[in-house]
Amino acid sequence: MGTSPKLGAYNYRYGAMAGGIGIAFSLMLFLMGMTYDQSSIIQTINVLIPASMAVIAITTFKKDNAGLLSLKQAIKAGVGVFLVAGIIGLAYFTVFINFVETDFISNTAALQADALREAQPTMDEDIIEMQQTNTEKYFYISYPFILIMNVLIGLVVGLITGLFTKKS
């Protein structure tokens, strides 16, 4: 009986592909002047990129493993692909906001303050300015939360894909 393939290799390979495609998508948005656009379509595409790579990783692993796939393996693959893609994406994002779009944090904070002014026109301006200052000051704290969300989404994608494709 042959040895089964290593799941980690699939996580790295397809996670790296998802990260690369995500970087290409981000650069496309930047070149089109849509860096600050937070439309639901863009958010959906940003989730579908690693989700599709996770599904491909799971189905490829199953095929390479003689048609055998446990739910646990599918979940590990989903989480792994999303985690690798998230780490690559955050590394790119760090380079992007420090060297390419150096005003990204202050521009984002200003856009959030404008949105808050529009949504709450009676809110005290001092509170809005405090929120804007805190956003700029603590921006990097969002990194762990982004990774946690990636892992959770990967867990769901792996679970759903595993339920449909598992065979022990």
pLDDT per residue as tens digits for the range 120-159: 988 898 988 999 999 999 999 999 999 999 999 999 999 9
**C-alpha to C-alpha distance for 138 and 82, rounded to whole angstroms:** 24
Residue-range definition of the domain harbouring residue 97? 7-165
Cα dihedral 52, 57, 63, 68 sign: negative
Residue 1: per-residue pLDDT:
47
Asked whether residue 144 is assigned to any structural domain, the reply reads: yes
Residue 2: per-residue pLDDT:
59
Is 8 a residue whose pLDDT tops 80? yes
Asked whether residue 22 is assigned to any structural domain, the reply reads: yes
Asked whether residue 108 is assigned to any structural domain, the reply reads: yes
Asked whether residue 140 is assigned to any structural domain, the reply reads: yes
Asked whether residue 1 is assigned to any structural domain, the reply reads: no
Residue 49: per-residue pLDDT:
98
Asked whether residue 2 is assigned to any structural domain, the reply reads: no
Residue that is written with structure tokens 């001092």 in the block: 126
- Residues 117 and 128 sit within 8 Å (Cβ to Cβ): yes
Q: Which residues of 118-153 are buried (b: 16+ CB within 10 A; e: fewer)?
A: eeeeeeeeeebeeebeebeeeeeeeeeeebeebeeb
Residue 38: per-residue pLDDT:
85
Asked whether residue 33 is assigned to any structural domain, the reply reads: yes
Asked whether residue 90 is assigned to any structural domain, the reply reads: yes
Where does the pLDDT of residue 168 fall: very low under 50, low under 70, confident under 90, or very high at 90 and above? low
64-74 pLDDT tens trace: 999 999 999 99
Closest CA to 54 of 90, 5, 19: 19
pTM: 0.92
- Residues 7 and 70 sit within 8 Å (Cβ to Cβ): no
Indicate the number of domains in the chain: 1
32-91 pLDDT tens trace: 999 999 899 999 999 999 999 999 999 999 999 999 999 999 999 999 999 999 999 999
CA atoms within 13 A on the CB side of 97: 15
Residue 82: per-residue pLDDT:
98
